[in-house]
Structure 1
Amino acid sequence: MKTAEHPVLSIENLSIDYLAETTVHAVRDVSLTLRRGEILGLAGESGCGKSTLAYGLTRLLKPPAFITGGRVVFSSREGYDIDLSTLGGEDLRAFRWDKIAMVFQGAMNSLNPVLRIAEQLEDVFLTHRPELGKAERRRRCGELLELVGVDRGRLRAYPHELSGGMRQRVMIAMALALEPQVLVMDEPTTALDVVVQREILQEITRLRSELGFAVVFITHDLPLLLEISDRIAIMRAGLIIELDDALTLYTNPQHPYTRRLLSSFPSLTGERGDFIRSGVLTGDIALEETEQTLEATAAEDVGIDKEEAR
């Protein structure tokens, strides 16, 4: 999907500290622009400041975390700008979920276990669209589930009656309830198996194309970002050390850390760091190479078993 150059979210020299016995500079002078309709990937090792940045730009930080510098500006498609630092109280509450929504890390475990799915989805409308009647709320909840590939009959289910992938889809549906212009996703596929992960990523890409929202997709899984992102920012120790389109960053990384990060992933099809997951080996070639790999692995296993028997 071709993205518009006009930004929907501008992060300008944002700095966030954790004020403890020793101050931790978790995010340091970060500047990023999220274009309308784009998927911006944010990658880096654990503890580099990715989630802190996400909480900062959505104004969800709690003490001892504080924004110590910079600002975040939201540019609405209606033509006006909002400096998020000026929002507070009811204005900030109304802004969240309506303009910017978030899918939290470990989202599939965020559902209330004692409430049905319908009650939890309807709560978004009760809070932000109180003028809607019960029948209209229930209709919209059913449409949301179907939008993310879940049967509307699951509205009566409790979270424990859904698989991990379905719970994750429910959380994405909840984030999309008010048709936000920006969706922040903090490691939304954590703890999901690779098949379900692939389905979730396909849903995110499809929904972005259909609804036109922009995405900040946060993960430590760089190969995953290379598949779905328009641009990727690499973060280390609170700093953005490299930012480029996905193809350029993969084929011509500039920063030594980015090169090390790329080379740290195991190969699936060739040399170390060659972790392309799709679009290279297809049909009979892929099947033949897979069979050869399985045969070689089986032969190695037999050799190991014989050696151990001796």
Structure 2
Amino acid sequence: MITIDNVTVGYGKAGFITAVDNVSLTINENEILGIAGESGSGKSTLMRAVYGDFSTGLRIKSGTVTGHFTNAHNGQLIEEPSSEFKKLWWDQITYIPQGSMSVLNPLMKVEKQVIDGLPKRERRGSRADLRRRIAEFLAGFGLEENVLDAYPHQLSGGMRQRVLVAIAAFVNPRLILADEPTTALDVVVQKKILLMMVEIQRRLRNTLVLVSHDMGVHYQITDRLVIMYKGKIVESGPTAEIFANPQHDYTKNLIASLPRLHGRRSADVAGELA
């Protein structure tokens, strides 16, 4: 689906600051891929490069990011470089950023923000029909229709984050990129949102890329895990194998940092409850 080939990504032109250094990675169809690492390891920068978001001064210094998508209208394979990914936004590719209050417009009701984010093909029919379809979709996330009439500040953090997840899933994308989607949420709400994301991926059979510094989150839901450190990938493989037999010292430290409950990692306990 996505091929990242020897990519170096950073910011600035005259004084280029490298954030991702010579990374190669394949993102496959129908998988939940986790990207882990501490703050500043390059996780979010890599996701912006994959999404094709160069609005913050980000640029690819070397290497290529290429997407391979099937056109929903004629079944033909589309191959695009990341510089052209913008035309696939909210169609083939959607993005769940961290920080719902910084993403949702505080001066605009939720209904308008949902509709404005939809591609034209999803705006078919009357406004009332579109609202009905959106309300039915939100109900699957435990959100009542009156959420559409609310401003973001009138919703809890968990509700706002569920709105963002619902917006990203509504268009049936082939790829959902989630950048720390449960940061700052309490563990109960976090768990609900993660389980929703897993259910979406299973139902749509699409690809979910989950960026998180929380190794417990990766343990619970990802199929494959990539560990980043100082802008490089230092380890990758099936999540279960990495947790069972980590090879890199940094990975070992990340896993060892998980708190333990009665001699077991909290991730083990959480996994049993999933």
Normalising by structure 1, report the TM-score: 0.80
- The 5-angstrom pairing of residues 66-145 of structure 1 reads 66-77=59-70, 78-85=75-82, 87=84, 92-125=85-118, 129=122, 131-145=124-138
Superposed, which structure 2 residues align to 1:148-187 within 5 Å?
148-187=141-180
Question: CA RMSD, aligned part only?
Answer: 2.1
Deviations 1:244-263 (A, max 9, x none): 11110001011111111111
1:71/1:107 CA distance change after superposition, 3 Å: farther
What residue number does 2:255 align with? Answer: 262
Distance in 2 (alpha carbons) for counterparts of 1:196 and 1:111: 19
Any conservation in 2 of the 1:16–1:27 contact (CA below 8 Å)? Answer: yes
SS of the equivalent of 1:265 reads coil
User: Are residue 16 (structure 1) and residue 9 (structure 2) matched?
Assistant: yes
Between Structure 1 and Structure 2, whose CA radius of gyration is higher? Answer: 1
Q: Which is richer in strand?
A: 2
Task: Give the Cα–Cα distance (whole angstroms) in 1 for the partners of residues 142 and 65 of structure 2.
Answer: 33
> Partner of 2:170: helix, strand, or coil?
coil
Q: Distance in 1 between matches of 2:108 and 2:122?
A: 20
C-alpha deviation, 1:176, in angstroms: 1.6
Counterpart-to-counterpart distance in 2, 1:249 and 1:65? 31
Could you say which residue in structure 1 is the equivalent of 2:268?
276
Q: Secondary structure at the match of 2:255?
A: helix
RCO (CA 8 Å, sep 6+): is it higher in 1 or 2?
2
1:22–1:172 Cα change, 3 Å: same
- 8 A contact 1:124–1:177 mirrored in 2: no
For 1:17 and 1:279, the matched residues in 2 are separated by 36
C-alpha spacing 1:192/1:63, structure 2 compared with 1 (3 Å): closer
CA shift digits 1:180-233 (9 cap, x unpaired): 100000000011000000100111111111111211100100111011000000
Provide the C-alpha distance between the structure 1 equivalents of 2:137 and 2:122, rounded to a whole number of angstroms: 15
Q: When the two structures are aligned, how many residues end up with a matched partner? A: 269
- The corresponding residue for 2:27 is 34
Q: 2:222 aligns with which of 211, 225, 229?
A: 229
**What is the identity, as a one-letter code, of the residue corresponding to 1:198?**
K
Write the distance in 2 (CA, Å) between the matches of 1:182 and 1:149: 23
Structure 1 runs of 4+ with >4 Å offset: 126-132
Three-state SS of the structure 1 residue aligned to 2:235 is strand
Percent identical among aligned pairs is: 38
The answer (yes or no) to whether the contact 2:52–2:86 under 8 Å persists in 1 is no
